[in-house]
Amino acid sequence: MAYERLDEALKTLNRRQLLELDTCARCALCTDLCPVYAESKNPLHAPGVRSSRILSLVNKRLSLWARLLGPRPLPEGELEELVESTYHCTLCGRCMETCPFGLETHELWLNVRSLLNLLNQTPPRIKMLGEMLEENGNPYGLDADMRLDWADYTGLEEAPVKDRAEVAYFVGCTTAFKAVNQEIAYSIASLLNELNVDWTLLGEEEWCCGSPYLLAGDREGAREAAERNVEALKARGVKTVITGCAGCFRVMRWEYPKLLGGPLPFRVIHAVEYFSEHITSGDLKPEPLDARVAYHDPCELGRLGGVIEEPRIILKALTTNPVELPENGLEGRCCGGGGLLQAVDDELRLSIVDARLRQASELGVEILTSACPSCKLTLSDGVRERSYNLEVLDLMELLARQMGL
């Protein structure tokens, strides 16, 4: 172990994070609600244990005692266990919301991933993802010129890629490349056409939003992705960027200004915000179903993105029988689809989604909606693997469907 590198990496933890690590009472109140710990029961996966480990590491190397008496070496396996802990996390932010001190663990976990990346400790399967991102601009290793194929597959008639437009629809890789999600793109595009909006796609110029870079601890990669997308959007004179992906939304809305060091020249909103306004104003009048429909809050849209009310406005317009799941809104329960957990431990991801699906199924939910392609992917995998009798749809798909599109 090159200790110099370790010390340099530890110095990337910022002021607030060091203060927060010292504030943690190691009370484990965050542990009970962590979706990963709830399924694995492995102490290494408990958020409070992770913060305790990180603090020990900092204190061994950088505390006053370490400076006076010399830094202490790490016991065998300590770093490997921190890697195991850090990547067994969906980055759902539930621990942050549960912590009585409001410790911003979500940012801390992201920062620890960058720190591990600096130490070349990123798990191999996540490293591979980084290589694919480098080559193709998406985490699925597919050619950039396949980015618009969804429009052909779904039979969308008008998929404009213009030089200038008021509104841009940022599709996102998980929507564009994953077959189960391509209907989401079709639905959003059709709704924009229905409203006669002056809108455009970025086509092949759309690049990964940067989220997977951040999740893999590569902040510089995320910054470059942000720069590239912002340039492409700016060149089109876009005023509003709409995305249907909770991950793209969170990163563009909340991380881009930090990565690029200033405000963006356009506003970024999630499709549920855009279309809920049009439902409230009466521009969109969907035909309500009378099925039991529930909405699952994507972590990156609700707790980590700040959008909780709008999807519920849409839901109420889509069914006469809306169902509220337990653990919702700010306290939404993660489906298991975040944090790149799938690449590290897919079995665990499936047991996490199973716990969520059980909650829905116990309430007799017939259609389970969400507003994120990663949630849809995970919820659909869960329904298939464990044979649940419910339909998984994105809220945008159901909206387009009830609009007859």
- Catalog residues that contact ligand SF4 under the rule CB under 6 A: 24-30, 34-36, 47-48, 51, 89-95, 98-99, 101, 103, 105-106, 109, 334
Please choose which of ligand SF4, ligand HEM, another protein, none residue 14 contacts, taking the beta carbon within 5 to 8 angstroms, the exact cut-off set by kind: another protein
CA distance 349 to 354: 9
By beta-carbon proximity to ligand HEM, the closer residue of 30 and 314 is 30
- How many residues can be counted in the chain? 405
When CB distances are held under 5 to 8 angstroms depending on the partner's kind, the choice from another protein, ligand SF4, ligand HEM, none that residue 53 binds is: another protein
Residue 21 beta carbon to ligand SF4: minimum distance, rounded to whole angstroms: 9
Asked whether position 324 contacts another protein by CB under 8 A, the answer is no
Distance CA 89, CA 398 (A): 30
From the list another protein, ligand SF4, ligand HEM, none, partner contacted by residue 36 (C-beta under 5 to 8 A by kind): ligand SF4
Longest dimension (CA), the chain: 72
Using the rule CB under 8 A, give the single segment among 45-53, 200-208, 209-217, 222-230 that binds another protein.
45-53
Q: Give the count of alpha carbons within 13 A of 258, CB side only.
A: 12
Q: DSSP character for 253?
A: I
Q: Does 25 interact with ligand HEM (rule: CB under 6 A)?
A: yes
Q: Which of 147, 158, 237 is nearest to 191 (CA)?
A: 158
- Region near another protein per CB under 8 A, out of 94-102, 137-145, 364-372, 377-385: 94-102
Among 3, 5, 43, 235, binds another protein (CB under 8 A): 43
Q: How far apart are CA 201 and CA 180, in angstroms?
A: 20
Closest by CA to 154, choosing from 105, 189, 130, is 189
23 makes contact with another protein (CB under 8 A): yes
As given in the structure block, the two tokens for residue 20 are 């927060």
Q: With respect to ligand HEM, which residue has the nearer C-beta, 99 or 171?
A: 99
Q: DSSP string of 146-159?
A: GTTHHHHHHT-S--
Check binding of 27 to ligand HEM (CB under 6 A): yes
Burial label for 166, CB within 10 Å (0-12, 13-18, 19+), is: middle
Tell me which residues touch ligand HEM (CB under 6 A): 25, 27, 100-101
